[in-house]
Amino acid sequence: MQFINQPDAGSDEEWWERFKDLLDDQNDWPTRYTFKFIAPSDSLQRLKGVFGDHPVRVRESSKGNYKSVTAHLQVASSEEVVAIYEEASSIEGVISL
């Protein structure tokens, strides 16, 4: 998975820790958090699986090669947000927005 603003330099662990700190600074837990991803069409079901039974909104690209996925989840902590992003990151071709 690729984050639009994720730098290539530095360790992934450091980046995730900075992201978690930013989440903690900008949110009061628990909160409703919006997740947005773009995925190749053939990865859609796997990405939807990251959200379990929670509903997701899926929109198709004009050529149908990609899907945008939006999910609104009630989360208890920044660790929960990071865990979802990390699980999605295991899916090839997924981009986080």
Per-residue pLDDT of 5-54, as tens digits, reads 454 445 688 989 999 999 999 999 999 999 999 999 999 999 999 999 99
- What CA–CA distance (Å, rounded) separates 32 from 79? 14
CATH code, domain with 36: 3.30.70.120
- What CA–CA distance (Å, rounded) separates 62 from 66? 8
More confident residue, 71 or 6: 71
Domain range holding 29? 2-96
> What pLDDT sits at residue 12?
83
Beta bridge partners of 45: none
More confident residue, 5 or 75: 75
Fill in the DSSP letter of residue 11.
-
User: Per the structure, how many domains does the chain have?
Assistant: 1
pTM of this prediction? 0.85
Instruction: Show the CA angle centred on residue 87, arms to residues 84 and 93, nearest 5°.
Output: 115
Answer whether 75's CB lies under 8 Å from 29's CB: yes
